């Protein structure tokens, strides 16, 4: 077995993608053996998975409560492996509810931790930055303004840029993709992105389909694409009966790049949409209990990531009761018909893209971590 063991952990689809890329870059530099928690991307990158991220990935307060037993079992399993293998370092990727607890347990056992993709505590529960200071040796930030926030809390933080800058690109031209979907490139296309988690689909997809029907009434030439993340075959089958929409799986970047407007569930997909330069409307709906908690804890004036990055309202954001078919249709049609509104948003998205930093975030992160070893 290689002399250097590294524990690496990710708990969500985006984290699994970033951690997999980092694992490949680290192995190329250090020949280390990586083990930990993640998903299919990390497995394909050669990480030895001792826990699957699907066991613990949730969003929202009420959803977390149901997963508490699985969360505890997974924590115990990872810490037990760390005690046996004695890794030189633990790399924990975002997913703060789980990773802050894991870092505390690992630090007490002598394993130093690096926060790869530091959590967005500047947006909610900012006092938790103090926990990062106590439990992590270093935090790597993907947004430039995060560095000052974390350094003020005493965290050794560095800006690496956003990993998506290097990877968000369509695989084919707009005309090729729309032809493949049986759609007309001469007509407007609205992409609907309901989110990657099952509970997001449950909360968001019915309203998005209702909004598509509203848009079609006012703009009969509009065409609709529903972009689903891999692994949602049941939802794809259910959508096969929807005559007004074309459903695509595993082709999110092509769907966004080919769209005139995208209606996007809040999260990583909004950053991807900004990088692709497609005007968007951001929506989100969570369980009622979660909504009450978020209203108390969130400290920023916005929840859409492009608005947070720009520090102003660049894209429309519709949350909870505001997220309804009529409002979504109105905002979407405005971007389809109003040239000035469209130009203003495109200008704001260009500003957002510039703030995400240059390419090479993964390589910078790997170099920093390799030097720590």
Which residues, given as ranges, of the chain have pLDDT below 70? 1-2, 58-67, 231-243, 286-300
**Per-residue pLDDT at 1:** 46
- The pTM assigned to this predicted structure is 0.84
- Rounded CA separation 3/32 (Å): 7
Contact yes or no for 235/350 (Cβ under 8 A): no
**Per-residue pLDDT at 342:** 98
CA angle 139/143/148 to nearest 5° reads 65
- Rounded CA separation 121/129 (Å): 7
**Per-residue pLDDT at 130:** 96
Name the one residue in this structure whose structure tokens are 């030189």: 88
Q: How far separated are the first and last CA of the chain, in Å rounded?
A: 17
pLDDT tens, residue by residue, 36-73 = 999 999 999 999 999 999 888 755 555 566 667 888 99
Element housing 327 (H / E): helix 325-337
**Per-residue pLDDT at 341:** 97
**Per-residue pLDDT at 4:** 93
Element housing 206 (H / E): helix 198-218
Contact yes or no for 108/83 (Cβ under 8 A): no
Nearest residue to 332 via CA among 228, 235, 207: 207
**Per-residue pLDDT at 55:** 83
Element housing 251 (H / E): none
**Per-residue pLDDT at 203:** 84
């Amino acid at each position: 077995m290689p002399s250097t063991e590294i524990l690496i952990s990710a708990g969500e689809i985006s984290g699994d993608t970033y951690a997999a890329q980092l694992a490949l870059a680290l192995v190329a530099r250090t020949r280390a053996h990586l083990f930990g928690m993640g998903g299919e991307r990390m497995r394909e990158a050669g990480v030895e998975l001792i826990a699957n991220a699907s066991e613990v990935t949730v969003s929202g307060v009420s959803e977390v409560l149901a997963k508490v037993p699985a969360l505890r079992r997974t924590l115990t399993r990872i810490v037990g492996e760390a005690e046996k293998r004695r890794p030189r370092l633990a790399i924990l990727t975002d997913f703060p509810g789980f990773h802050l607890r894991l870092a505390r347990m690992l630090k007490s056992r002598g394993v130093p931790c690096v926060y790869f993709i530091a959590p967005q505590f500047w947006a909610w529960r900012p006092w938790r930055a103090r926990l990062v200071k106590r439990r992590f040796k270093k935090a790597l930030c993907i947004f430039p303004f995060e560095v000052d926030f974390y350094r003020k809390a005493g965290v050794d933080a560095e800006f690496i840029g956003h990993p998506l800058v290097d990877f968000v690109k369509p695989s084919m031209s707009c005309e090729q993709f729309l032809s493949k979907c049986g759609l007309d490139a001469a007509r407007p296309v609205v992409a609907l992105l309901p989110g990657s988690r099952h509970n997001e689909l449950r909360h968001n997809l019915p309203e998005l389909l209702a909004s598509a029907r509203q848009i079609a009434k006012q703009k009969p030439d509009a065409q609709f694409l529903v972009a689903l993340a891999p692994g949602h075959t049941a939802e794809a089958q259910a959508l096969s009966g929807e005559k007004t929409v074309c459903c695509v799986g595993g082709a999110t970047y092509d769907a966004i790049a080919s769209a005139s407007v995208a209606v996007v569930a809040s999260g990583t997909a909004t950053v991807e949409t900004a990088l692709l330069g497609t005007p968007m409307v951001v929506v989100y709906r969570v369980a009622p209990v979660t909504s009450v908690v978020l209203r108390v804890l969130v400290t920023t004036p916005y929840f859409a990531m492009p608005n947070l990055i720009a520090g102003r309202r660049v894209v429309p954001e519709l949350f909870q009761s505001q997220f309804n078919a009529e409002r979504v249709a109105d905002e979407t049609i405005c971007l389809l018909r109003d040239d000035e509104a469209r130009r203003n948003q495109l200008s704001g998205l260009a500003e957002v893209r510039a703030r995400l930093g240059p390419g090479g975030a993964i390589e910078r992160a790997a170099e920093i971590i390799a030097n720590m070893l």
